[in-house]
Chain A
Amino acid sequence: SQQGEEDPQALSIQEGENATMNCSYKTSINNLQWYRQNSGRGLVHLILIRSNEREKHSGRLRVTLDTSKKSSSLLITASRAADTASYFCATARFGGSEKLVFGKGTKLTVNP
């Protein structure tokens, strides 16, 4: 079953604009991760935020986590055409398993 639910399902913006994607989940988590997937290829890890963290930055990426609302957001600033991809959030629980539970993803299109 899906744990994370991304919102929106699809997002189309112009190059240079910011893109914000949201993710909600249902159960308590150890950490939440964001991945990017280009056109049905493998997943590329973007950022991991632990349950005791509220915000994390990596280059043009900013991730927030609100465990009280069971939600996370991914902000991509100054987007580029190369950012066009599907973005997935994935949650990991405590307990020693490497299992990730993925949402259905947000398809981002950045128009040049």
Chain B
Amino acid sequence: KAGVTQTPRYLIKTRGQQVTLSCSPISGHRSVSWYQQTPGQGLQFLFEYFSETQRNKGNFPGRFSGRQFSNSRSEMNVSTLELGDSALYLCASSLLMRTALLGTETQYFGPGTRLLVL
């Protein structure tokens, strides 16, 4: 079974531009989460989607948005890029078969998209 794939792998943008990153989860996985990793802040949760609905959102400005399609593929968009948005953006998918009470499943991460904002 193919793992989580993310495209593009590397991206260079300039301040003020916008960017769209894509994530394809493992086949059959319905939950997709996004994380930002920087040397200063570490790994921080951006948002989580399940069945095309955003279920949870981290503490990021509105410039960060995302969506999920009916095939569970997800995209995240960052508008009006700032230098501080330079980071590794990681996507993770999970099966999410359990009920809400039982908590999270193991999450499988993609290789990430490294974004550099100049």
Contacts and interface: CB of A to CB of B under 8 A. Distances in A.
B104 A100 contact: yes
- Size category of the B interface is 20 to 34
B56 A40 contact: no
B42 A104 contact: yes
A93 interface: yes
B31 to A, nearest CB: 5
Given A88-B43, A94-B101, A98-B48, A48 B106 contact: yes
Interface of A: 2, 30-31, 33, 35, 40-45, 48, 88, 90, 92-105
A35 B94 CA distance: 15
B96 interface: yes
A99 B48 contact: yes
Contacts of B50: 98
B42 A2 contact: yes
Interface of B: 4, 31, 33, 35, 42-45, 48, 50, 55-56, 58, 88, 90, 92, 94, 96, 99-112, 114
A100 B109 CA distance: 12
B107 A96 contact: no
A52 to B, nearest CB: 11
Nearest to B55: A97
A91 to B, nearest CB: 10
9 contacts: A88-B43, A97-B48, A97-B56, A98-B33, A98-B104, A99-B48, A99-B104, A100-B92, A102-B43
A43 B96 CA distance: 19
Given A42-B111, A45-B108, A97-B55, A102 B42 contact: yes
Given A42-B90, A44-B109, A95 B100 contact: yes
